[in-house]
């Protein structure tokens, strides 16, 4: 077991996070429970901010809210001096509710609605990241009617697709996002945006993938984008001052994962940017990055109560917990891998290989295939690690399971940052039409 962050084992043999006994957390707040280690969130945010500042003084780290966003999280992001990337009216609303400075908000999305665009303009968000030609038009229209000028980045598809361990550069790009670089769309978009009096074109954006374990794809993306900025200068006579290279830095989910240290991404990006700018004769733009997973992923642990254990001799042992794909759909969706420990037996040697199943009515509802645990029994608490990113944010009420609570732990204190949903919450948006309640129908009323 990797005891990273503030994880320790106390004298009772219980797993502790942020100075809090996880078994007590489970008792106090119930399970499933998302536990967020504040020190780890802050440590990661700082490591990124400091390493980018060291290599590129004019840089900004923008937290990707899609990985985990609540109003308390917005407060931490604000305090750590990061920007905030939001991708929907709902995420923007969360930021505004938390009092997050709107000028530090970057608003993304490949199909923003008119309402979302207006909400963003009225709030005064820092940048809108424009994805397509329809949005350019909608944004101009909205800015005109609100008598404002929108500061924009254009999302470009640079033709680099990076996966965990490899990346490909293709001329042909198949992506729903952004203006394609290779077919002239990107340049056309730059021309349109630069010519629009309602818009202030600040720069460009790209995002090449997520959970990327190498620094080279980011360097390649930086070179391609700066090459394009050179083309923009030549062809459209415009010098762009900002370049946002998106998120995607990899993290360790299981012991086999070996992502580079966070500072190595900054170093590689800085080098590529500086070299490419020298070659193209451009001033070094302000560089932005948008990490999500690398800030919140390792900070999250989910606590479950172990229930039934089904042994199929010679085949597999299924250990069911009181959550599953509702609070963590990543195993079912992506084949994600996790490590876990029996929190109340954290001092014991793991001796039994089991597969952790959820409680949803679906065979694919698995959390971990094959994990070695110490004497797991019904009633024990299972802690699944590295569940801070894209778990709560992708959680659902499948099977009408209420979504779990989340607590923020730090130096022995545990504070609720998300209340557990109740059964009442589940039905609170349901409506029963009158005609199903025995009320007379319109036709009947007409006859009377």
Instruction: Give contact residues for ligand LLP (rule: CB under 6 A).
Output: 64, 66-67, 85, 108, 207, 210-211, 246-249, 290-294, 330, 334, 389-390, 394
CB of 32 to ligand LLP, least distance (A): 17
> Of 108 and 403, which has the nearer Cβ to ligand LLP?
108
CB of 69 to ligand LLP, least distance (A): 12
DSSP letters along 311-345, please? EETTTEEEEEES--TTT--HHHHH-----EEEGGG
Burial-class residue 164 by CB neighbours within 10 Å (0-12, 13-18, 19+).
middle
> Of 192 and 210, which has the nearer Cβ to ligand LLP?
210
CA distances from 52 to 60, 222, 293 (A): 8, 14, 17
- Report residue 140 as tokens: 């101009």
> Of 32 and 292, which has the nearer Cβ to ligand LLP?
292
237 contact partners, CB below 8 Å, separation of at least 6: none
CA–CA distance, 249 with 251 (Å, rounded to integer): 7
223 contact partners, CB below 8 Å, separation of at least 6: 272, 275, 276
> Of 117 and 319, which has the nearer Cβ to ligand LLP?
117
CB of 100 to ligand LLP, least distance (A): 17
CB of 79 to ligand LLP, least distance (A): 20
CA angle 391, 397, 402 (to 5 degrees): 90
Residue 35 contacts residue 15 (beta carbons within 8 Å): no
> Of 63 and 304, which has the nearer Cβ to ligand LLP?
63
- Residue 32: cis peptide before it, omega within 30 degrees of 0: yes
Strands 105-107 and 127-130: parallel
CA distances from 434 to 19, 333, 431, 437, 443 (A): 53, 39, 9, 5, 13
159 contact partners, CB below 8 Å, separation of at least 6: 169, 170, 171, 172, 173, 180, 181, 182, 224
> Of 25 and 221, which has the nearer Cβ to ligand LLP?
221
- Count of helix runs (H) and strand runs (E) in the chain: 13, 23
> Of 16 and 85, which has the nearer Cβ to ligand LLP?
85
20, 361, 372, 386: the active-site residue: 361
Place of tokens 């659902």: 396
Q: Is 360 a catalytic residue?
A: no
- Calculate the dihedral angle through the C-alpha atoms of 392, 47, 38, 123, rounding to the nearest 10 degrees: -60
In 3D, which of 152, 163, 99 has the Cα closest to residue 126? 152
CA–CA distance, 148 with 131 (Å, rounded to integer): 20
Residue 343 contacts residue 383 (beta carbons within 8 Å): yes
CB of 24 to ligand LLP, least distance (A): 29
CB of 205 to ligand LLP, least distance (A): 7
> Of 22 and 94, which has the nearer Cβ to ligand LLP?
94
DSSP letters along 267-286, please? HHHHHHHHHHHHHHTPPPPE
> Of 261 and 415, which has the nearer Cβ to ligand LLP?
261
CB of 130 to ligand LLP, least distance (A): 13
Count of positions (residues) in the chain: 448
CB of 139 to ligand LLP, least distance (A): 18
How many Cα neighbours within 13 Å face the side chain of 271?
A: 12
Active site residues: 361
């Amino acid at each position: 077991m990797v005891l990273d962050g503030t994880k320790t084992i106390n004298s009772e043999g219980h797993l502790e996070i942020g100075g809090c006994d996880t078994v007590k957390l489970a008792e106090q707040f119930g399970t499933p429970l998302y536990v967020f280690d504040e020190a780890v969130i802050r440590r990661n945010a700082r490591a990124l901010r400091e390493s980018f500042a060291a290599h590129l003084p004019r840089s900004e780290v923008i937290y990707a809210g899609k990985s985990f966003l609540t109003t308390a999280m917005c407060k931490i992001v604000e305090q750590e001096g990061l920007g905030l990337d939001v991708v929907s009216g709902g995420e923007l609303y969360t930021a505004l509710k938390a009092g997050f400075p709107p000028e530090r908000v970057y608003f993304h999305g490949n199909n923003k609605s008119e309402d979302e665009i207006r909400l963003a303009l009225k709030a005064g968000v820092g940048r809108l990241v424009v994805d397509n030609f329809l949005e350019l038009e909608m944004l101009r229209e909205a800015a005109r009617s609100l008598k404002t000028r929108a500061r924009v980045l254009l999302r470009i598809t640079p033709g680099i697709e990076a996966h965990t361990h490899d990346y490909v550069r293709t001329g042909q790009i198949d992506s729903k996002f952004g203006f394609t670089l290779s077919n002239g769309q990107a340049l056309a978009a730059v021309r349109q945006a630069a010519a629009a009096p309602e818009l202030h074109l600040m720069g460009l954006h790209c995002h090449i993938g997520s959970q990327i374990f190498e620094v080279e794809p980011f360097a390649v993306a930086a070179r391609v984008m700066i090459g394009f900025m050179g083309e923009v200068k030549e062809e459209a006579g415009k010098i762009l001052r900002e370049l946002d290279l998106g998120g995607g830095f990899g993290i360790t989910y299981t012991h086999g994962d070996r992502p580079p240290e966070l500072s190595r991404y900054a170093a590689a990006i800085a080098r590529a940017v500086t070299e490419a700018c020298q070659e193209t004769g451009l001033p070094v733009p302000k560089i932005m990055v948008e990490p999500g997973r690398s800030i919140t992923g390792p900070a999250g642990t989910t606590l479950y109560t172990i229930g039934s254990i089904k042994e199929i001799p010679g085949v597999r042992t299924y250990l069911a917990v009181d959550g599953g794909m509702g609070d963590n759909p990543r195993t079912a969706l992506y084949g994600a891998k996790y490590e876990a420990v029996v929190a109340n037996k954290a001092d014991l040697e793991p001796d039994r290989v089991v597969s952790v199943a959820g409680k949803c009515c679906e065979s694919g509802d698995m959390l971990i295939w094959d994990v070695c645990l110490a004497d797991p029994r019904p009633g024990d608490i299972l802690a699944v690690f590295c569940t801070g990113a894209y778990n709560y944010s992708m959680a659902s009420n499948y099977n009408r399971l209420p979504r779990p609570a989340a607590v923020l732990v730090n130096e022995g204190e545990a504070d609720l940052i998300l209340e557990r949903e109740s059964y009442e919450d589940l039905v609170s948006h349901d409506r029963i039409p009158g005609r199903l309640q025995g009320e007379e129908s319109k036709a009947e009323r007409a006859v009377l």
